[in-house]
Amino acid sequence: MKFRKLLMIAALAVTVMGTAAGCGSGSDNETNNANTGTNAETGNNAGTDAGTGNNVGTGNNAGNNASGGGGEKAITVKAANFEFDQPEIRVKKGDKVKITLNNAEGFHGLAIPDFNVDIKENNGTAEFVADKAGEHEFQCSIVCGAGHSKMVGKLIVE
């Protein structure tokens, strides 16, 4: 009876540790981040990438659309334990947006429900036209642990 109880406790402990480790251990140590590209639309980059999580509107905008949207915007979002490296992403209405998700730590997804986007694999991509102006929430779409609900951000379509 005691052995059975001890075995059940050990099995429970292994299960809990395995679940926590699934979100906390990243096996992908890529350092390639396309978010430090240039913004050909204006010739400058409004964001900074100093590790502060305030990398706003970066990526490579190949569009030549000074009068409005319609350009192409490539954005790579890095997901780590319970945060995205870009809590805010800015694009212009009409831009064709290509988002790539890079899991720096753990296993995460990225969903933007207003544009029917749901990336669930590392280095997965989604493309859509930003045809709805305003603020659109994005969030982690894979339950990744205790801080999962904090993995949110805004896509701002201007």
CATH number of the domain enclosing 7: 2.60.40.420
Tell me what pLDDT residue 1 has.
66
The domain in which residue 23 lies consists of 2-157
Tell me what pLDDT residue 26 has.
40
At 2-39, the pLDDT tens digits run: 767 666 666 656 555 544 444 444 433 333 333 333 33
Largest CA distance in the chain: 76
Tell me what pLDDT residue 5 has.
66
Average pLDDT score, the chain? 73
**pLDDT higher than threshold 50 for residue 48:** no
Q: Are the C-beta atoms of 46 and 113 separated by less than 8 Å?
A: no
**How many whole angstroms separate alpha carbon 124 and alpha carbon 86?**
17
**How many whole angstroms separate alpha carbon 47 and alpha carbon 16?**
39
Number of domains in the chain: 1
**pLDDT-based confidence at 125, cuts 50/70/90?**
very high
User: Residue 12 is encoded by which pair of tokens?
Assistant: 């429970």
User: Residue 113 is encoded by which pair of tokens?
Assistant: 């429900």
**How many whole angstroms separate alpha carbon 13 and alpha carbon 53?**
34
Q: Looking at residues 147-158, what average pLDDT do you find? A: 95
